[in-house]
Structure 1
Amino acid sequence: MFTGLVQAMGTIERSPGGVRLRWRAGAGGWGPEGLQLGESVAVDGVCLTVAERLHDGFRAAVSEETLRRSTLAARADRRAPVNLEPALRLADRLGGHLVSGHVDGLGTVQAITRESASWRLELAWQDPAYGRYVCDKASVAVNGISLTVAGCSAEGVSFWVAVIPHTWEETTLQHLRAGDGVNLEADLLAKYTERLLGGGARGGQSLDAAWLAEHGWQA
């Protein structure tokens, strides 16, 4: 489990059986020295397991499922920069939101606009079915970064976020261009809520006005 607060940046490249992550020179904060075998690390929002420690990073295996659902393959082929975050400790502050590191799907950068005190980043889900998890002020993980939805289309498929200068400068968002793909993870709590209210625990009964009235809800 992660919080979506990026601790360092690195680069990713192909390696036998998976990928190799290298810390970028000058990256602040957390480094590779304390990594343990079997530890989880979020790489651009994708939860990977440390299979081998290196002096400047680590190696990790990547499943076919992960490659299909994320940008890792394309970024490894280009030796591109990635965001890195260690797993959350139970005693840590939850500064972002609960991020599982299990990418739901890909998004596309629609536009990037520099504003007076922030950047406006406009995105769209490639699979419109995930739009139902997006609403104003909802949380979303973009390449592993916890961001708040500032506005969205009626269906939630297209949305935009405001990126403050610190986040822009300390993450790989600064390298994005219109048309680029990004890893998106919807709010974990929204998905569990949908599952629970969608009938799984009530024999197929979905949440609607009749169900609410039956259980005492008064408008």
Structure 2
Amino acid sequence: RVFNASSYSAKKVVELYSEPLEEGNAFKPKRVLIAFKKVEIPAKSSVKVDFDIRFDDFRIYDPSSSSWKVEAGKVAIEVGESCQEIVLVKEIQIVSDDVIQSQRLKMPTYYSPTKDGFLQFDNDFEALYGRPIAMERDPKSKPYNLNSTFSDISRTWIGRQIFSVAAKKAHLNDPGHESDKAFFEQTPLRNVIMSGLGIKYSYLLRDLANGHFVSGIFAFLLGIHQD
């Protein structure tokens, strides 16, 4: 339950996260946002917030089979106002028959991030991506490509809208998230695959930033990827 001890009604965003407690074969982010809800709480009252957790919420990408799988192991289910304000934790055991091959030798920097974050080496990303990365021209100006960052595409109107929506959804404009926002600005479009959305979203963002609205959306819907 979410409580409001004040004399005024209030709105709260309740977020649900999962955090792996065991080191498995698959690369896993430290914490993953599963769901969130915005609720209005009357003055001096409380509201019950329910979440439905699905098996697919624990899917992770297996580059060795180019498919999404669920790895067995202990996971912490966490509830809070943000990833930095966790107030409730429950440990669960995931049971799965999926087999995932370790990619630690192929992608060491993804499994062992430094204090400054992940070192995005091309050979590591190629192992995750499943094929070589094409050498492309300057990504800081049109035509943008998958190596262009969110900061690069923000030079266009549509790029600014994309960045604004993404920053708002990830609460990057909230106080205390300045470093996260700066990191996100320098994130290449190709890294969208790490969010679980899939590489087709990277291509869609690239096409929209280049002004290819109709052809970009058409290719996205048909699953056509053009380098």
Q: Same fold (TM over 0.5)?
A: no
Which protein is bigger by CA-based radius of gyration?
A: 2
Structure 1 or 2: larger strand share? Answer: 1
Q: Greater share of helix residues, 1 or 2?
A: 2
Query: TM-score if structure 1 supplies the norm length?
Result: 0.32
| TM-score, normalised relative to structure 2 | 0.31
